[in-house]
Chains A and B, each alone.
Chain A
Amino acid sequence: MSDKSTSRLRLLLGQLNPLGLPLRQKIGVLGLAFLIALPLLVSLPVVGQFVVLILPASSWELGLYNVAAALFFAMFAMSWDAVSGYTGEISFGHGLFFAVGGYTSAMLNMGHGFSPWISVLGGVLLAAIAGVMIGVPALRIEGPYLSLVTLVAPLILLQVFIFMSDIFGGEQGLGNPENLVGLGFVSNYFLALGLFVAIFTLLWALTRSNTGSILTAIREDEDAVSAAGLSKAKFKIFAFVLSGAIGGLAGAAYVHTPVGSPTPSELMSVIVNVEVIIAAVLGGMGTIVGAAVGGLFVAMLPDYLNLVEFTVPVIGKSISSMSFFLFAIVTLFLLNIFPGGVLRWGIALGRRATGRDGGDEGMAADGGQSPEDAGTNPVAQTMERYQEYYDNMFGGDDE
């Protein structure tokens, strides 16, 4: 027994050795190292100036704030991916969880005087309960119907916020709750990065364990999951609660930083709900890594566009004034070019370039499934799933 656990430990340590990692994970570790070193780099004499150039702002202070905000958005996207990317039950209203987390924490802090560190926990708890409230109906209502429920739920919450604006502040939100780590650029940056890494690690480990296989099996075929002796109900509710709690955690921490505040437009507007989906799908749905990368990209692209001081000749508008429009156009193009997500495309490209088939988790070299194969990527699987529901809606047979 101890022999087995020793060999497990050795396996685990072997997997953590950065030199033994596959290329894509080396790139990921490098990217993370860059993010950790970023505040140090900007303070270096010469290098700093170059680093500021690539930041999504004109100064390093604002740059760190913008990256911190992007990290929070990436957490939102990862929380969406954990449930929708893996189980294929698309949530069109994930802002519900961010808002429940953020508002609960802000109200506990501002109204009842709890320390923000405590009130964040309250936000997580209530967001997890919101996860149950969406997850339990999800056992009976599926596919497009559930998507409608998730679409309407945040709209209802928003209306409650508006007609009870004496409590919730209406469209204006709740003002400024106390910050977790004050106003420091570097400290808030590291708060966001630390939370980002923690959430990423948790979701990465969970989705790479058997739990992840079971969740993607639910996306592919629920009957096959039951036939394997696995309770699909349990795993679905778990996915919703996990996603709700993590979305709530990110939302709650976000309102206690200088980069965010508890307002409907930041936490639960239709644009937020849609951007979260775009980020995860664009990065690579059902991978967590894709949601993290896509989240950073989607959050920072408008910041970069805002920096461009160029006026388009004919229409006489500056790039920065159309940043959101351009963002949507770029996204549309990317979604068309990489339907399986940029991450899957990148991995496939990398494998072709290095001539490797991806080690033990790869497919057979001949006739194997390539990651961007139509019909096997999560977007196509989800489409197929929805198609089934539509067919049934119009009286298709059960086979």
Chain B
Amino acid sequence: MSTDTRADEAASATTDNEVGPDDGILAVESLRKEFGGLVAVDDLSFAVQEEEILGFIGPNGAGKSTTFNCVTGTYPPTDGTVWYKGEEVTGTPPHEMVKRGMARTFQSFAPLEDRSVLKNVALSMMDDKLVTMDGLLGEFHDEARAICERVGLGDRLYQTPAELPHAGMLRLELGRALGTDPDLLLVDEPFAGLSGPEVESVSDLLLELRDEGMTLVVVDHNMRGLLQLIDRAIVINFGSLLAEGSPDEITDNPEVQEAYLGGGLE
């Protein structure tokens, strides 16, 4: 009996919005992640188009981070398929995903506390090679310096992460992600704790990256600052898809308003 209902569900899901490998640069089909008895992500399907900025929105605990941990290989998904650039990458380990051109920033900043901003960025530019002459002569640092300047840390190259203000930490996260030369960048909660002007300058940077051909997925639980930035949004709640569409369609959607209890949409 239970197998029947599951089969039915699966059938309805696939008829509703079947996602295939060529539906976008990143395509996720029926992704499911369970922790013990808890279903964190419940048969979620979506696709990300090349050179778009997609907002990935949901209240706290909706499963946003878990989804991206499954996509980037941090956790193996319980079920479902992930395609990146048309290739199946389900369960590929994180460093392989980075090499394939998918980078991410962390919501809880994870810089290397023992080295300077410049060296943090330089690390992500290094080749995955065991024996190399690179770095012996310090020639790496020119490119790393350019990235630091790009993300607005040009005057803090030799400071340690502990000396950076909150916005600086976020910029460092972006710098470290950009150091891996990604085609798709997952940005986790970029605007949390930023002031108005800071939100604007980070948004400008993300728009600039998109104009250069990068695809961006911006994850956030509130929509402040996000709606001006994104082309399209996906809203999830309790691990499954709630709404999908342009920023206007999302804000007008009654279910989305319900999920946010009428708040957080201003």
B136 touches A238 (CB 8 A): no
Specify which of B111, B136, B139 is in contact with A224 (CB 8 Å cutoff).
B111
B137 touches A229 (CB 8 A): no
Specify which of B95, B126, B137, B163 is in contact with A11 (CB 8 Å cutoff).
B137
Which residues in A have their C-beta under 8 angstroms from that of B163?
Answer: 367
Q: Which residue of B lies closest to A237 (CB)?
A: B130
Q: What sequence of 0s and 1s flags, for each residue 186-201 of chain B, a beta carbon within 8 Å of any chain A beta carbon?
A: 0000000000000000
B108 touches A399 (CB 8 A): yes
B95 touches A220 (CB 8 A): no
Shortest distance in angstroms between A291's beta carbon and chain B's nearest beta carbon? 19
In the bound assembly, the distance between CA atoms of A91 and B163 in angstroms comes to 33
A257 at the interface (CB under 8 A from B): no
- Chain A interface residue count, Cβ-Cβ cutoff 8 angstroms: 42
B160 at the interface (CB under 8 A from A): yes
Which residues in B have their C-beta under 8 angstroms from that of A212?
Answer: 135
A230 touches B128 (CB 8 A): yes
Q: Could you tell me the dominant secondary structure of chain B's interface residues? A: loop
Q: Which residue of A lies closest to B180 (CB)?
A: A229
B93 at the interface (CB under 8 A from A): yes
Given contacts A211-B132, A381-B114, contact A227 B106 (CB under 8 A): yes
Tier of interface size on chain B: 35 or more
Which residues in A have their C-beta under 8 angstroms from that of B113?
Answer: 220-221, 375-376
Stretch at the interface among B3-11, B21-29, B115-123, B209-217: B115-123
Q: What sequence of 0s and 1s flags, for each residue 92-116 of chain B, a beta carbon within 8 Å of any chain A beta carbon?
A: 0111101100011010101111111
B124 touches A229 (CB 8 A): yes
Specify which of B132, B133, B158 is in contact with A364 (CB 8 Å cutoff).
B158
Shortest distance in angstroms between A42's beta carbon and chain B's nearest beta carbon? 36
Given contacts A217-B123, A363-B116, contact A228 B180 (CB under 8 A): yes
Q: Which residues of B, 49-72, contact A by the 8 Å Cβ criterion?
A: none
A213 at the interface (CB under 8 A from B): yes
Which residues in A have their C-beta under 8 angstroms from that of B111?
Answer: 221, 224
Given contacts A213-B119, A213-B123, contact A226 B94 (CB under 8 A): yes
Given contacts A210-B132, A226-B94, contact A220 B158 (CB under 8 A): no
In the bound assembly, the distance between CA atoms of A227 and B128 in angstroms comes to 12
A226 touches B93 (CB 8 A): yes
A223 touches B110 (CB 8 A): yes
B137 touches A213 (CB 8 A): no
Q: What sequence of 0s and 1s flags, for each residue 362-379 of chain A, a beta carbon within 8 Å of any chain B beta carbon?
A: 111001110000011000
Which residues in B have their C-beta under 8 angstroms from that of A367?
Answer: 159, 163
In the bound assembly, the distance between CA atoms of A375 and B122 in angstroms comes to 22
A226 touches B98 (CB 8 A): yes
Stretch at the interface among A127-135, A189-197, A201-209, A263-271: A201-209
Number of A-B contacts (CB under 8 A): 125
B87 at the interface (CB under 8 A from A): no
In the bound assembly, the distance between CA atoms of A223 and B104 in angstroms comes to 12
Q: Which residue of A lies closest to B120 (CB)?
A: A224
A210 touches B98 (CB 8 A): no
B114 touches A376 (CB 8 A): yes
In the bound assembly, the distance between CA atoms of A363 and B134 in angstroms comes to 21
B239 at the interface (CB under 8 A from A): no
In the bound assembly, the distance between CA atoms of A209 and B126 in angstroms comes to 10
Shortest distance in angstroms between B24's beta carbon and chain A's nearest beta carbon? 22
Shortest distance in angstroms between A221's beta carbon and chain B's nearest beta carbon? 6
Shortest distance in angstroms between A16's beta carbon and chain B's nearest beta carbon? 11
Given contacts A228-B179, A229-B128, contact A213 B135 (CB under 8 A): yes
In the bound assembly, the distance between CA atoms of A230 and B133 in angstroms comes to 17
B131 at the interface (CB under 8 A from A): yes
In the bound assembly, the distance between CA atoms of A92 and B96 in angstroms comes to 32
18 additional A-B residue pairs with CB within 8 Å, beyond A8-B139, A209-B131, A235-B130: A12-B137, A209-B132, A209-B135, A210-B134, A211-B132, A216-B115, A220-B114, A226-B93, A227-B180, A231-B128, A234-B128, A360-B141, A363-B116, A363-B158, A364-B158, A368-B159, A369-B116, A376-B114
What are 28 A-B interface contacts by the 8 Å CB criterion? A8-B139, A210-B135, A211-B135, A213-B122, A213-B126, A213-B135, A214-B126, A217-B123, A220-B112, A220-B115, A224-B112, A224-B176, A226-B94, A227-B98, A227-B180, A228-B95, A228-B98, A228-B176, A228-B180, A229-B98, A229-B103, A231-B128, A360-B138, A360-B141, A362-B158, A364-B158, A376-B113, A376-B114
Residues of B within 8 A of A (CB): 93-96, 98-99, 103-104, 106, 108, 110-116, 119, 122-124, 126-141, 158-160, 163, 176-177, 179-180
List of 5 A-B pairs having minimum Cβ-Cβ separation, nearest first:
A229-B98, A210-B135, A228-B124, A364-B158, A226-B94
